[in-house]
Amino acid sequence: MNQFNFDLNNHYHSSMRRLMVDVHTRHGDALADANPISAARYRGMAQGLERVALLVLNDSILYHACSELGDELERLHEEMMAEAEH
């Protein structure tokens, strides 16, 4: 995941950062529990955060951070599925 210049004095940035950490953590827990359905829900939440950043907040920094989060969760999911096949 890339580094983003979150402005922690900006309420939206600090709130979104907390949400992103929560989604990432819960997605990891779902993968650790071998629960792909729950993991998919958290990937969907990451996509929702991305849309909010773009369409509601109109914030390119948050949009790119959320986009990277979604990409990372997808990569982790694919990794888990590949391991399950072996």
Give residue-wise pLDDT tens across range 45-56: 999 999 999 999
Report yes or no on 72 lying in a domain. yes
Over residues 71-80, the mean pLDDT reads: 94
How many whole angstroms separate alpha carbon 23 and alpha carbon 44?
Answer: 10
The answer to whether position 67 is within a domain reads: yes
Residue 21: its H or E element: helix 11-32
In whole angstroms, give the CA distance from residue 7 to residue 28: 26
- Compute the average pLDDT of residues 53-72: 96
pTM: 0.88
As a whole number of Å, the CA-based R_g of the chain is 13
Summarised one tens digit per residue, pLDDT across range 12-50 is 999 999 999 999 999 999 999 999 999 999 999 999 999
Q: Are 6 and 13 in contact (CB under 8 A)?
A: yes
pLDDT value of position 85: 78
Domain encompassing residue 33: 11-85
Count of structural domains, the chain: 1
